[in-house]
Structure 1
């Protein structure tokens, strides 16, 4: 039987080992993942949490085919296979799509998503996918969204930037985009505008709650399931904040659903394109009226908020940061706008076909998405055992994490200039857009789950970029260095602090 002295010596020796390992991490150029007894590999991960995206990228660069195992603490479910190998992703997302699902644990972690399209598998997912495809891919919806964005640009975004420019004040452009996209998605999905984007920058409870929910979901990835489950049961810490945020969001959405149902009961049917909530309430199949309950509509709204608000905010924020710090790219974008449209006024309505002419701008957007994908990592769970193309064995129920952020930084995928912001890499010799396989450029997912709103997102990003760049110069404040956020969406933790000045025409 071990004496107390032996136990103390053992703990002291273990402590010294950790201190020695930390000293090595500080001196070492590359990260080291040590599998400790009891703690597994969680210690180096937590130590590098402030720079977790770059830590994992450096780690995967050292592994065979950018793939490795991560072993969590004993008696937890934090054992993962981690990969950023494009061929592995192609295998999971396309060739063996049916074997790699979201799974029950994913559904628990992302419970705020409910039974929406991002959180489901099998028949439920297929139904959601078919439903959205029938709506999002019609020309009328495309024009409906474009009209809402144009209206928000003219009446809110440009007046706000004019005010900021006249005041000569510093503004957080990420916060501006957050409010802009939140108002847009509320108008598109719910048919209401909460007016988050105004000169006084009001606090809007639902918008803040939505941000809190996403932070809570990321927290559930950082700690063992038993920890966040206990916090949820006790209603303490992050889980208490998550519960309050979900309640605030649900009250907002359910109130809108109720008012929509009352409105529809009083109005006669018309064929005009309206918000998605109303469209789903009026959906018909043949002579049958399809009745969606309130919970279904709530889950649809939440999933579309993530797809149409956060990802666009992220894309716009990183795009404007990269353009502002690369003057030659900015000059080429402005030259392309001038060549195609002459002097642009915000009131001028650019058609969808006209927006497609902006090849260089399209390339700049793709570059921003490659370097800073809005969703920095994804997860899948294997149903049956399998062997990945990299040779790694996948046991049944294995959870696989794949890091989109890392993929944009691998030389073997993008070349030795992979860390450079070069829109030219997306433009062919003939001046067209270079096609890149979706499993390499995976910002819009790949295979059957490829994002249905890809084209709509490019329209919104291009319209917003043209409206701002043709009127203003955006300058990042001296000394401001973006810090990557800890969330399921890749934003700037410290915002994007800029000054706005009038552009010389």
Structure 2
């Protein structure tokens, strides 16, 4: 069949190209520190503004929101019907996430954008969301499950992370911190989910194809967020551009889930075949502490392989992307602020002094024992300065920098802005943490003290409402794994900062990647030195 282009299509395409070229040319000539309101161009809408500022998209949106009173409305290309409302106003956030949350679901397009997790708790709304959240709450709310997850994390810190850092300190070798933390968190997330250690944090450091696939999901998702659905769906149909890369990532993720489920099955069969009744009971108890077991024994998931795979991928991405994204920024902030490191160590010192027997020996791989100190979750639970330092890093570098909602029925925001049915609402968490009106003139400074208040001579965490600090979501979708995530991050942070000095290698550009998660674009090269105790 012959394929031809109509004159009208050719002319309209040339107009779009010329307008876009002119805008990008003007952007190139414009002073880079000049932030301005986005222009709704004829035909193209806000697309040129996004393209022209893609190199610093989050900071660009932050500047626009600061200049426009924390809210602005923009449009997509003509004929697409795309209309966006962008906000970082806490009053609007409370309205969207709590007061009128039923009017602001994630929506069908959100589920399509994250199609590898379609049907799981990350993408659904309404009754399916409530039902799945109740399931998660029953799984993660079990004291035995929480204790098992704490044990997995502490064991991986003691036997994997600290020995690696000890070797790097002895050799004086720079290494990439973000990759190390990603590998560590990948194992710590997979172990409670499947009951099997993937071994990504091992001496030979195998390639992380699965982690790269997760990164691709989030990078292509941002692309899907910012273009008309018909555009990326056409690319998906013809397997072009980012959609081709995403298709490969989906295959990798599904293969990983199948591999881990098979390993979990074999591990159960191996223990179940033992003759000793006590070992069989122990294996059964261990199996029940796997998140996987809670789902394969549930008829709703057992009868729906797609839903089960999507849910397991959801657990892996949720665990890896939150903690794995936060900790590199946290260590970067500490390296840039030595006085905060001193404050954390001052808080840890009484624990070490009161239980010197709590040190363990970790092999550094060359038959030399190096004593390192680890901290139990109960040790770090009352450490408010350490938690304030983590929260301050989450304020400036939230793992999920943007939330997306869909408008069901027309509404008026507390700010007075109107939204229409079918509009897309973007909430910029990144911008919210950098608004002078919310956090003061020092809003761009890393200052954990802003999270603390004095209580009769003792420091305690200051209450900050979730509609102002949205790192753990808000309202009916509040993160159910918040306490577990904080516990794991404190376990890692305390051990690393007590035992090592972390120094950022000079000359590297540390900046966010263009993705739905706020990873570092170029990673983080560091050196570590063993502290003298």
When the two structures are superposed, what TM-score results if normalisation uses the length of structure 1?
A: 0.92
Within the candidate set 284, 301, 317, 2:312 is matched to 301
Output the CA distance in 1 between the equivalents of 2:240 and 2:32.
Answer: 38
Q: Is the 8 A contact 1:404 1:443 kept in 2?
A: yes
Q: Is the 8 A contact 1:77 1:225 kept in 2?
A: no
Q: Secondary structure of 1:80's partner?
A: strand
Q: 1:504 Cα shift?
A: 2.1
Output the CA distance in 1 between the equivalents of 2:266 and 2:303.
Answer: 15
Counterpart residue number, 2:329: 318
Q: Is the 8 A contact 1:32 1:44 kept in 2?
A: no
Moved more, 479-488 or 89-98: 479-488
Counterpart residue number, 2:245: 241
Q: Is the 8 A contact 1:25 1:32 kept in 2?
A: no
Q: Does 1:171 align with 2:175?
A: yes
Q: Does 1:55 align with 2:60?
A: yes
Moved more, 110-119 or 446-455: 110-119
Moved more, 191-200 or 270-279: 270-279
Question: Does the C-alpha gap of structure 1 residues 153 and 28 become closer, same or farther in structure 2, counting only changes over 3 Å?
Answer: closer
Q: Does 1:34 align with 2:48?
A: no
Q: Per-residue displacement from partner, 1:131-180 (whole Å, max 9, x unpaired)?
A: 00011112111110011111111221112112212221110000000000
Q: Does 1:333 align with 2:344?
A: yes
Counterpart residue number, 1:403: 428
Q: List gaps (5 residues or longer) in structure 1.
A: 1-5
Q: Secondary structure of 1:473's partner?
A: strand
Q: Does 1:114 align with 2:118?
A: yes
Within the candidate set 154, 157, 169, 1:153 is matched to 157
What aligned pairs does 1:57-456 form with structure 2 within 5 A after superposition? Answer: 57-64=62-69, 66-258=70-262, 260=264, 267=272, 270-272=284-286, 273-282=288-297, 291=302, 293-342=304-353, 345=359, 350-430=375-455, 431-456=459-484
Q: Per-residue displacement from partner, 1:328-350 (whole Å, max 9, x unpaired)?
A: 01111111100233367357664
Question: Does the C-alpha gap of structure 1 residues 483 and 246 become closer, same or farther in structure 2, counting only changes over 3 Å?
Answer: same
Output the CA distance in 2 between the equivalents of 1:376 and 1:458.
Answer: 18
Counterpart residue number, 1:18: 23
Q: Is the 8 A contact 2:409 2:420 kept in 1?
A: yes
Question: Does the C-alpha gap of structure 1 residues 164 and 262 become closer, same or farther in structure 2, counting only changes over 3 Å?
Answer: closer
Q: How many residues align?
A: 496
Q: 1:251 Cα shift?
A: 1.4
Q: 1:28 Cα shift?
A: 6.2
Q: List gaps (5 residues or longer) in structure 2.
A: 1-10, 273-279, 362-372
Output the CA distance in 2 between the equivalents of 1:140 and 1:108.
Answer: 36
Output the CA distance in 1 between the equivalents of 2:216 and 2:462.
Answer: 38
Counterpart residue number, 2:49: 44
Output the CA distance in 1 between the equivalents of 2:148 and 2:162.
Answer: 20
Q: 1:116 Cα shift?
A: 1.0
Counterpart residue number, 2:506: 478
When the two structures are superposed, what TM-score results if normalisation uses the length of structure 2?
A: 0.87
Counterpart residue number, 1:3: none
Moved more, 145-154 or 159-168: 159-168
Output the CA distance in 2 between the equivalents of 1:132 and 1:15.
Answer: 46
Question: Does the C-alpha gap of structure 1 residues 258 and 31 become closer, same or farther in structure 2, counting only changes over 3 Å?
Answer: same
Q: Is the 8 A contact 1:257 1:294 kept in 2?
A: no
